[in-house]
Structure 1
Amino acid sequence: MVALLSVSNKSGIVEFAEGLISLGYEILSTGGTLKTLEQNGIQALDVSQYTQSPEMFDGRVKTLHPKVHGGILYRRNNSEDVAIAKHFGIADISLVCVNLYPFKATIERTDDFNTIIENIDIGGPSMVRAAAKNFTSVLIVTNPNDYTKVLENLQSNKNTLEFRQSMMIKAFEHTAGYDCMIANYMNQRFNGGFGGAHFISGKLVAPTRYGENPHQKGAYYEFENFYSNIFKTLKGEISFNNLTDINSAVKIASSFGDAPCVSIIKHGNPCGFALKSNALESYKEALKCDNISAFGGVVAVNAPVDIALAQEINKIFIEVLVAPQILPEALKEFENKKKIKIFTCGGKTLKFPKDTQDFKHIEGGFVLQDSDCVEISEIKNAQCVSQRQATEAQMQDLEIAYKIAALVKSNCVVYVKNSAMVAVGMGMTSRVDATKAAIKKAQDMGLDLKGCVLASEAFFPFKDSIEEAHKVGVSAVIEPGGSIRDDEVIECANANGIALYFSGKRHFLH
């Protein structure tokens, strides 16, 4: 029995080789892997000796040889194949352990294109695909995390067809993900990220009990390692809907640097937000916006959760709590709350991936775009188009309202007063309806909007929203501008003593 070992990631390869030798395998190896094995006293045959063909072109060609690929690919149940292999001295390579050149690590550390090109593996994917294709006879191993399981199965005579089939699927996933990464990188470098094809590749983290509804299957995947390494479950089982709500909650709560803000989400939209001097005060103020919708919602805290905050959260039913840390005494406070789910991501503040591209599924395909984000310059450099200018405090509230509005379903408006959201209208078919709906909800909650500020993620097409805002005492407004009726909107703001700012950038979220 011959096992071919050729890996870029040397983790665990020595122990794996020792295990294979103890099972009677001869080791065939190449380059750096061979050197690592020999340095650790493991006897292995150099592929070049076996093929009687030296490595060529600085290692670009070393395993691309009939004695390697023939040994992997020949059909053991085909008498003609067996005879050809015997005639040409082609060994039966029944196990192939390969992982690929570190292309991702290379593009992260350098922009030198020659170095990047040299870190595109050719022989590795060829051997992986060959072994996977011939899985009825060959065991393919591509992940060091599988070494122990492979050895256990070999030792207990459980190298079954079903096991090799599962490893075959992993192998094709491995090469597919690798090729997707290269193709996307090349399109990013030469075509601005929008080439003739785009590939979305993710690794399974875990299945969810179901999707959005019980009759739908569900699972979640990750691009890198955030959900498997950084996002931690402390209590409960995460659901499909939890994940999408957490995504919205943490995006908002992590948009304000290290400020101890709190975001409350229900069904993907914010029903509370505040940025106060500490997390406890932020939570209390955020809850005031809509404590009815907050029931059963998702709370994201951009600070460690202590016992005082835990006790406050426990006063109502919150389904999900996510924070950078949950202190031990705070976690203990939640022990008797059977239904709450608790997760962490980060250190002192929330940590969240910031993907450079965003996509949405449409029937038959998907739409792809650069990810949207609010630049601080949009607020700092916003043009005051009214006679009245906002105060420093109003500008701070405008910044909060504007950042939140960019993360709320369009059409939307966000009202903020004293660093806390006091009203929000989202997902409406007209902007004035969003304005009125937000006001109505605030009034139902007994909130005083007088002196608050207002942000819209897109321009006001008519002056009606400004008129409605004036009725409840809005003092300042920020919006992109760009309507053919901007003059009417500006005139209305001036007539009602409202400070009006144009940011010049729209932030639709459909």
Structure 2
Amino acid sequence: MYALLSVSDKSHIIEFAQGLIECGYKILSTSGTLKVLQDSGLEVIDIASYTGAKELFDGRVKTLNPKIAGGILYRRDSLSHQKDAQEEGIEPIDLICVNLYPFKQTIERTQDFEEIVENIDIGGPSMIRAGAKNFQSVLVVTNPSDYPQVLKRLRNGENTLEFRREMMIKAFSHTASYDCLIANYMNERFNGGFGEQIFLSGEKVLTPRYGENPHQKGALYAQGDYFLKHFVILKGEPSFNNFTDIDSALKIASNFQNSVCIIKHGNPCGFALHSNPLEAFSLALSCDTLSAYGGVVAVNAEVSLELAQKIGESFFEVLIAPSFTPQALEFLSNKKKLKLFSLTPKLPHFSLPTQKVSFKSIMGGFLIQEADCITQEEIDNAQRMGDYEATQEQKRDLEIAYKIVALTKSNCVAYVKNGVLVGIGMGMTSRVDASRNAMLKAQDMGLDLRGCVLASEAFFPFKDSIELAVSMGVSAIIEPGGSIRDDEVIECANSHKIPIYFTFKRHFLH
């Protein structure tokens, strides 16, 4: 009874091999894995001596051999297969443990194309696919985390067809994601990322109770290490909608240290920047206390007991921060309906992964594009278009407002005053409606807009939006520009002595 072990990730492979030997398996292995096992004192058979064919071409060919492929693939219930195996001296290989060359780690570490190509595994995927195809007779193992349950089942005589089928699915998923990674990398390197085919691959993190609505199934899949290593569930079961709201909150809050962002149904209903996170939270909440009820709060600073107590005065569904003091965590743990998450807990502020592309599902397919990003450079280099210069305080508020609108559903306008979001209108069919809606919400909350700044993620097509802004007391404006009536808009701002800046970069979000 043979088991073949050939792994790049050698975590716990010695213990696994020892367990297989105790279960009666003879171990076949290749160069790197062979050495690790032999150095540990285990009795292991070299693949080269087993097949009678030495490794060739610097290890490019070592398991591509009929004794290996045949031993894995031949059907044990077929008389003709049994006859072929007997005539060719092919012994059955009933278990294979294989994981693949570290292609992902290599492309993250180097741009040396020759080294990258050498880390494309050939024999490994072939063996995995062979074992998975013949799961009726062969158990295929690709992940070290499965070693304990595999050994337990073998010791208890529970190597069932159902279990082998479960491992077969994992095996095909393993090789599929590996091939997707290679194909996407080659397209990115040589076709600008937009080749004839594109592949989505992710590792399942968790299954919420349902999707956006109770009648929909859903799941979270990770691309990269963001959710697998840095997102920590401290309390509660995150829902599908929680994740989308958390994503919106983090994208805004991560732009400013010591900021607080409150999200409801994917849209910001509160934001504030202050050196004291406690004060930032109180100011953010004042923007729209009604909408904030049951919302998601992102605090881009450690949550202290004092801040936790203040947050606890209102009902929120989710609170996420880089970290919590032990006292804050103890206090918040008693809030039955509050879900707590941390992100990058070893850092004082949020650190998000770089997003290269974004996807949008449509009927019959999906759209892919380069991810939109708001660079500090585009804000710092925003061009003054009128006769008046903004103060440093106004420029800081313009930056905050601009980043908020760029990360919120279009059409969107935002009003910011002294680092605090005091009005926002989003997802409207006209920019005037967005402006008016934000104004009405501010009035409902009793907020004074006089002296605030205004930002829009796309150009104002007419001067009517500027005139409305003036009526509300707006003191400075930032927008991308690009309207055929830009001159009218600029002249309107000039006539009211309002500084106006263009970034020349639109940020639609549909």
The Cα of 1:348 is off from its aligned counterpart by 1.0
| Aligned positions of 1:186-335 closer than 5 A | 186-256=186-256, 259-335=257-333
- Paired letter, 1:408: T
Aligned residue type for 2:266: G
Q: Which residue of 2 aligns with 1:28?
A: 28
The alpha-carbon deviation at position 142 of structure 1 amounts to 0.3
2:428 alignment counterpart? 428
Q: TM-score of the superposition, structure 2-length normalised? A: 0.99
1:45-56 mapped onto 2 (5 Å cutoff): 45-56=45-56
Task: Give, in angstroms, the shift of residue 327 of structure 1.
Answer: 1.2
Map Cα deviations across residues 361-410 of structure 1 (whole Å, 9 max, x no partner): 11111110111111111111111011111011000000000111110100
**SS of residue paired to 2:254:** helix
Match in the other structure for 1:443 = 443
2:152 corresponds to which residue? 152
Q: 1:335 deviation in Å? A: 3.2
> Aligned partners of 1:139, 1:28: CA distance in 2, in Å?
15
Q: Secondary structure at the match of 2:219?
A: strand
SS of 2:470 mapped into structure 1: helix
Q: Residue 461 of structure 1 corresponds to which residue in structure 2? A: 461
Work out the CA distance in 2 between the residues paired with 1:394 and 1:241.
Answer: 35
| Cα RMSD, aligned residues only | 0.7
Q: CA deviation at 1:218?
A: 1.2
For residue 11 of structure 2, what is the aligned residue in structure 1?
Answer: 11
- Aligned equivalents of 1:326, 1:233: Cα separation in 2: 12
Residue 350 (1) aligns with residue 350 (2): yes
1:70 counterpart residue number: 70
Q: Distance in 1 between matches of 2:354 and 2:292?
A: 26
1: distance between equivalents of 2:476 and 2:27?
Answer: 74
Question: 1:123-143 deviations in whole A, cap 9, x for unaligned?
Answer: 000000000000000000000
Q: How far is 1:234 from its partner?
A: 1.1
Unpaired runs of 5+ residues, structure 1, are: none
Q: TM-score, normalised by structure 1?
A: 0.99
Residue 229 of structure 1, CA deviation: 2.0
Q: Tell me, in whole angstroms, the C-alpha distance in 2 between the residues paired with 1:63 and 1:234.
A: 46
State the one-letter code of the partner of 2:36. Answer: T
Letter in 2 for 1:377: E
Q: Do residues 183 (structure 1) and 207 (structure 2) align?
A: no
Deviation (angstroms), 1:352? 2.2
CA distance in 1 between counterparts of 2:468 and 2:96 reads: 70
Partner SS state of residue 409, structure 1 = coil
2:343 counterpart of 1:336: no
Unmatched tracts of structure 2, length 5 or more: none
Could you say which residue in structure 1 is the equivalent of 2:112?
112
Distance 1:309 1:238 in 2: 22
Between the aligned partners of 2:323 and 2:406, the Cα distance in structure 1 is 27
Q: Residue 367 of structure 1 aligns to a residue in which SS?
A: strand
Letter in 2 for 1:357: V
3-state SS in 2 of match to 1:465: helix
1:470 aligns with 2:433: no
Distance 2:325 2:196 in 1: 49
**Residue 498 (1) aligns with residue 502 (2):** no
Match of 2:123 in 1: 123
1:354 shift after superposition? 2.3
The number of aligned residues is 508
Distance 1:331 1:195 in 2: 48
Q: Once structures 1 and 2 are overlaid, which stretch shifts more, 350-359 or 67-76? A: 350-359
Amino acid at match of 2:368: L
d(CA) in 2 for partners of 1:317 and 1:354? 32
Letter of the structure 2 residue corresponding to residue 381 of structure 1: N
- How many angstroms does 1:228 deviate by? 2.5
Aligned mates of 2:105, 2:330 — CA distance in 1:
40
Q: 1:262 is matched by which residue type in structure 2?
A: V
How far is the alpha carbon of 1:497 from its aligned partner? 1.5
Cα separation, 1, equivalents of 2:136 and 2:364: 35
Specify the SS of the correspondent of 1:208: coil
Name the CA distance, whole Å, in 2 between partners of 1:42 and 1:207. 40
The structural deviation recorded for 1:353 is 2.1
**For residues 372 and 224 of structure 1, what CA distance do their matches in structure 2 show?**
19
- Give the secondary structure class of the aligned counterpart of 1:217: coil
Amino acid at match of 2:292: A
Distance 2:44 2:66 in 1: 20
Tell me the distance in 2 between the aligned counterparts of 1:459 and 1:484.
Answer: 10
SS at match of 1:125: helix
Amino acid at match of 2:184: N
Q: Percent of aligned pairs with the same residue?
A: 63
What is the CA–CA distance in structure 1 between the aligned matches of 2:386 and 2:42, rounded to whole Å? 79
Q: Superposed, which structure 2 residues align to 1:398-437 within 5 Å?
A: 398-437=398-437
Q: Which residue of 1 aligns with 2:58?
A: 58
The residue type equivalent to 1:47 in the other structure is: I
Corresponding letter in the other structure for 1:117: V
Describe the SS at the equivalent of 1:255: coil
Cα separation, 1, equivalents of 2:506 and 2:268: 19
Post-superposition Cα deviations, 1:280-328, rounded to whole Å, max 9, x if no partner, equal 1110110110011001000000001001101110111011000001111
| SS of structure 2 residue aligned to 1:359 | strand
Distance 2:316 2:350 in 1: 19
Corresponding position of 1:372: 372
Map of 1:138 onto structure 2: 138
Q: Which amino acid is 1:207 matched to?
A: T
- After the TM superposition, which segments of 4 or more aligned residues of structure 1 sit over 3 Å from their partners? none
Aligned partners of 1:227, 1:377: CA distance in 2, in Å?
29
Counterparts of 1:219 and 1:109, CA distance in 2: 30
1:81 aligns with 2:81: yes
